[in-house]
Amino acid sequence: MSLATARTPRPGTDPRPRPRPHSRSGVPVSQVPRAAVWAAYAIPLCALPSGLWRIALVAGWPDWYAPHAWQPWERPYVLSLSLVAECLALLSLALVKPWGERVPGWVPRLGGRAVPAGVAVVPAATGAFLATAFCAYVVLNHFFAFVPPLNDTGETFPTSGPGAWALWICYAPLLAWGPLLAYLTRAYWLRRRAATTGAARTTTPA
């Protein structure tokens, strides 16, 4: 009789190891690090304040832009910027959700198929670069005035009053969008590569 004793499982628990979840195509759904999940949810929150500020701008709250004579197309354009920016920010969730690794089952003809890593990595990496470059340009433009003033008073941005405080507080989180997305893209790529390598080793005959 062996001296080694087996551990007694707790009541109500299954002692058998849990299998890794798989998609319909057999591609394993990789485990997502907690830091990547936090980064994915932080990106939409970074974009939200600037969208709310643009909505307030259209509503006429910031005293800085109140005298501006709006053209018929300008208000819908400014509001659409908030909508598009938030939708793009929400797409970062694809890098931590199962539908970022396999097509959802309700999609006709493609449901359950594995999403090639490059299909997610290339747009995400491009977005990270553009977000970082845009934020850097906006900050530099504030100091060096590369483009003409944006309002009718000759000032590029409000420099005092509630409008100035609201502008900087709401737009400052956008500085984190690019770096967070770059980290998230790298984590996704490494995770998918590790999952593909592990699956290949499992299927390779000895």
Altogether, the residues listed in the chain come to a count of 206
Segment 62-78, tens digit of pLDDT: 666 666 777 889 889 99
Rounded to an integer, the average pLDDT of 175-192 is 95
Q: How far apart are CA 164 and CA 91, in angstroms?
A: 30
Q: How far apart are CA 57 and CA 180, in angstroms?
A: 27
Least confident of 72-76, 83-87, 119-123, 199-203: 199-203
Taking alpha carbons only, the member of 22, 63, 32, 65 closest to residue 203 is 22
Is pTM, for the whole model, over 0.85?
A: no
Q: Please check the confidence at residue 7 and state whether its pLDDT lies above 70.
A: no
Strand extents, DSSP E, 27-76: none
